[in-house]
Every structure is written in C-alpha cells, then in structure tokens.
C-alpha cells in the first residue's frame, strides 16, 4: 500500500469514528414541529424560540423544537386539525379557529370582556381558564398554557375612526368565529372572515378595507404598508394557546413530558412580557411608519356590543344557552361585575 492510500484509509476511519460517536445523539433527537401564522419577528415566534431553547437544553438535545412561522404549514385551523391527526406536533394559535372544536372557548371571544391584562390572567390562569383548557384532551389536543396575542385594535383605509359612527359600512376582515362576526356587525361594520395568511394581500388588493389585530402583530406583518388609519379600540383581548398533539404527547417519556410542560410555562411568562413591552413602544413605531392614530371614546363601542353577549350564550354553551350563560355569569362575577 502506498503512502497516499494509507492516508486516505486513515482519513476514512477518522471520519467514520466521528460519525459513529455522534450517531446516538442524532438518533435520539425527536423533532417537534410547531406551526404559527405570524411573521418570524412576532412575539409568538420569539416566545417559541425561548421554548425551543429551554427544551433543547433540558433534554440534552434529545428533543428538538422546529418553528414554522408565517403560515408555512397552513392556517391556524389547519394546525389544529394536524394536531388531532398527529401530523403536526404543536401550534401557537389565537382562539380564532378553536371555538369550532371547543365551544366554551368562545367565552374569550366576547368583546370588551377584560378591561386589562390582570383581569385576563386572573380568568385564564384560574379555574375558568383551566376548565376550558381541560376540554382539549377529548378532541385529541392538550393545552400547554395561555399565551398572549394581545388587545386588538382596528386599522383601515377608509377614514379615521374617531367615534362609533365611523365604523359604518367598513369592510373588515375578522378571524373565523361567529362572535367576531357578530361583534363587528353590532359596531356597524361589514365583517368578512378570512385566514390570517391571506390578509396582507386582501388589504393590498382592497378585498377588505380593514382588519383588527394587536399592535405587535400589525407591526410584524407590516400592515402599515397597506393600511393608513389605526384606531386604538382594544375591543377584544386575544389570548393564544400553546397546543400539543395528544397522540404525540402520550408517546413521550415522563421525563420529556415534564420538560415540555415546565418549558411551556417559562416561555409563556416570557412571551407575555414581550407582549406587554411591545404595547408600550409599537404605537409610536407605527406612527413613524406613516399610520394616523385615533383614540375613540370606548363607551359607545361597549354599549353597542351588549346584544352580542345575549346572543353568544347559545354558542358558548355549544347549543345549550343556559350552560353558556352560566359560564358568562361566572366569569363576570369573578371580575366583580
Ligand atoms: O394568532 O388571525 C389573526 O388575526 C390572529 O391574530 C393571528 O393569526 C395570530
């Protein structure tokens, strides 16, 4: 054997032994795909990155969370269905599509339900939020906690919304749930349900004049490029849920389950903080990007949506109006109203 082939042989052996040494670690890494519909810079995805980092560290690389933002894996509804089938492991989603699966979650789609975040966290992290989250295993999904989308505000291209009358006839995209539609109708607007992934183009092409979302999402989605006016209405508090496929979750070791559960709670607090901080700075950022902001008096908006509460009881109770009303009453009582 000449010198050259001897060296080559040595090289091959070296490479093989490196590969073999690394193989057990590679073999063990279990991939957890998580879908979101928002842009990579949005708080959901920064929160998910935090979750992924904790999971990787605590599992010594045995679990690997891969984030797929910007509706790459489809809509929020697609994700929920994927979890049920076990074709997707996780998603971070608004309550938008969830009422079709667990009607009680529509409680959280009531307009002006929470005055501030303290009220929201009190209900979500307390008995009522837990009771709603506990409905998910029956549909093949497990909740890992209430994250935050945020208080939603209205953007449009028609006119500044200075008061309720300015809402008249505005064609607004809403998330796909009966209560979002009912709310916008009661405010005088003309709602069109649509998946989030289609929204930028719909605004650009004028299919709709308006949309509503938290400031940080308006910013991350660059809606200021296609929307002129922003009205600070805070008409919905929009929670987000971190959900995992029950089929997938049950296949994990107890150790891995515990890691995921505790990482989800840490990342929830982290993500909520991003939302809180984002609300402090993003309005100014949107103004610097050309948006014209109004702060309409909320009182007449709150009054206009009163009928939505009455009509919602049946939806929230999944057809049982008395059960839905009981849940609304319990929530309002806990909020001291
Ligand atoms: O969950 O659809 C929406 O407007 C949501 O706010 C968004 O997808 C984040």
Percent of the chain whose pLDDT exceeds 70: 92
- pLDDT at position 138: 98
Q: Which residue has the higher pLDDT, 190 or 24?
A: 190
pLDDT tens digits for range 138-166: 999 999 999 999 999 999 999 999 999 99
Helical H segments across the chain, by residue range? 3-28, 43-58, 76-85, 117-124, 127-133, 178-186, 199-205, 215-220, 246-250, 254-288, 299-304, 306-316, 321-334
Q: Dihedral angle at the C-alpha atoms of 186, 189, 190, 193, nearest 10 degrees?
A: -80
Atom of ligand 1 nearest to the CA of 96: 2
- The predicted model gives 114-142 an average pLDDT of 98
Query: Cα 241 vs. chain centroid, distance in angstroms?
Result: 6
pLDDT tens digits for range 38-68: 999 999 999 999 999 999 999 999 999 999 9
- The predicted model gives 280-304 an average pLDDT of 98
Residue 138 corresponds to which tokens in the numbers above? Answer: 């029956």
- The predicted model gives 275-283 an average pLDDT of 98
Residue in 51, 270, 239, 214 with CA at minimum distance from that of residue 133? 239
Averaged pLDDT score across all residues of the chain: 94
- The predicted model gives 198-224 an average pLDDT of 98
90-94 β-sheet, strand order: 63-68, 30-35, 90-94, 237-245, 141-151
- The predicted model gives 74-86 an average pLDDT of 98
- Report CA(196)–ligand 1 centroid distance (Å): 6
Would you say residue 1 has pLDDT above 50?
A: no
Would you say residue 73 has pLDDT above 90?
A: yes
Atom of ligand 1 nearest to the CA of 195: 2
pTM over 0.95: no
- Report CA(17)–ligand 1 centroid distance (Å): 48
- The predicted model gives 215-223 an average pLDDT of 98
Specify the residue with its C-alpha closest to ligand 1, atom 1.
Answer: 94
- Report CA(61)–ligand 1 centroid distance (Å): 31
- Report CA(222)–ligand 1 centroid distance (Å): 14
- pLDDT at position 28: 72
**Is-contact 89 95, C-beta < 8 A?**
no
Atom of ligand 1 nearest to the CA of 152: 6
């Amino acid at each position: 054997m000449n010198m050259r082939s001897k060296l080559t042989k040595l090289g091959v052996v070296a490479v093989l032994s490196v590969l073999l040494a690394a193989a057990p670690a590679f073999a063990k890494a279990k991939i957890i795909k998580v879908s979101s519909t928002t842009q990579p810079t949005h708080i959901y995805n920064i929160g998910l990155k935090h979750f992924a980092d904790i999971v990787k560290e605590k599992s010594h690389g045995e679990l690997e969370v891969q984030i797929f933002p910007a509706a790459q894996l489809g809509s929020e509804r697609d994700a929920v269905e994927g979890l049920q089938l076990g074709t997707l492991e996780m998603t971070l989603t608004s309550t938008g599509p969830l009422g079709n699966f667990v009607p009680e979650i529509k409680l959280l789609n009531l307009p002006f339900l929470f005055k501030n975040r303290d009220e929201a966290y009190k209900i979500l992290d307390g008995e009522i939020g837990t009771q709603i989250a506990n409905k998910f295993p029956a549909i093949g999904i497990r909740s890992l906690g209430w994250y935050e989308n945020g208080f939603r505000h209205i953007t449009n291209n028609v006119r500044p919304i200075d008061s309720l009358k300015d809402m008249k006839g505005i064609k607004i995209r809403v998330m796909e749930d009966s209560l979002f539609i009912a709310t916008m109708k009661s405010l005088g607007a003309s709602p069109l349900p649509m998946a989030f992934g289609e929204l930028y183009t719909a605004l650009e092409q004028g299919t709709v004049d308006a949309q509503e979302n938290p400031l940080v999402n308006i910013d991350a989605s660059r809606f200021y490029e296609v929307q002129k006016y922003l009205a600070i209405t805070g008409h919905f508090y929009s929670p987000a849920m971190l959900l995992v496929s029950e089929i997938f979750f049950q296949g994990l070791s107890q150790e891995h389950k515990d890691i995921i559960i505790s990482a989800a709670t840490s990342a929830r607090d982290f993500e909520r903080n991003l939302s809180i901080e984002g609300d402090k700075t993003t309005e100014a950022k949107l103004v610097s990007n050309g948006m014209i902001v109004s702060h309409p008096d909320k009182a007449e908006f709150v009054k206009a949506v009163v009928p939505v509460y009455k009509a919602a009881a049946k939806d929230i109770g999944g057809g049982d109006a008395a059960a839905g009303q009981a849940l609304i009453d319990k929530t309002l009582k806990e909020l001291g109203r």
